[in-house]
Amino acid sequence: MKSDPFAQLKLLDIAEIDARTLQLRHQLKNLPETKQIQELQAERKKIDDVAIDVRTRRDDLALAQAKAEKDVEAVRVRRAKEQQRIDAGQVSNPKDLERLQAELANIDRRISVLEDEELEVMEQLEEAVKATAGFDLQIAEIDARILEVTAARAERGADIERRLAEVIAEREPAIEGMPADLMALYDRLREQHGVGAAELRARQCGGCRLTVEPAELSRIRGAQSDEVIRHEECGVIMVRTAESGL
């Protein structure tokens, strides 16, 4: 392919614009805040998984405490009724009175046992409530951090998108008047290799950074100035300049 040497030089300007565009798109896709958010979310999930077990234990203990309170109250009500019978003189038979008093003693012991059990459950519940509150605080702190990093990501992303739009806007004037066949080749190579054209500088290809072999350099020296040269190694268009070292 042949093309005006000036048009080939303009490819370097276009390639520089495309390189900046590619770089900005890469930055936009790989914002550091995104990784931070993922790490924070993973940490939050880890804490929340443990917190679920603690919350479940807290709720179970709350039910156990309610049951213990109910059991104690039921026995106390029963004792109060029996004591009321004695106080009212409803039990006059000495043997019946003796049996009732023995039963009251048993009830008192039962109440003592139930109260101890209730106290133990209350202590365990208090610990579970404190543990749950601790996990909730950690989760709240992580959520606040996620919101903070998300806002920073949005700000950074908006800045990159603004710069990206500016760079993209530079391309249309840059390609104006360029030969269609040259641009078609350039765009195809850019799609395949990420780079469509690069400067041949100091006998090195700017696309792959490899030194051009002597035999290829000899071929390039003998080529007409309007011939489009492609590097045999990476395939990109090598644009010749005064710095090519030919």
Average confidence score pLDDT of the chain: 93
Please state, in angstroms and rounded to a whole number, the distance separating the CA atoms of residues 55 and 133. Answer: 9
**CA angle, corner 184, sides to 181 and 190, nearest 5?**
140
**What are the tens digits of pLDDT across the range 22-71?**
999 999 999 999 999 999 999 999 999 999 999 999 999 999 999 999 99
pLDDT at position 25: 96
Residue 14 pLDDT level (bands cut at 50, 70, 90): very high
Enter the tokens of residue 29: 């896709």
200's enclosing H/E stretch is: strand 197-201
Enter the tokens of residue 196: 């469509």
Please state, in angstroms and rounded to a whole number, the distance separating the CA atoms of residues 105 and 84. Answer: 15
Q: Where are the domains of the chain?
A: 5-26+179-240, 31-174
What number does CATH give the domain 31-174? Answer: 1.10.287.1490
Please state, in angstroms and rounded to a whole number, the distance separating the CA atoms of residues 31 and 205. Answer: 31
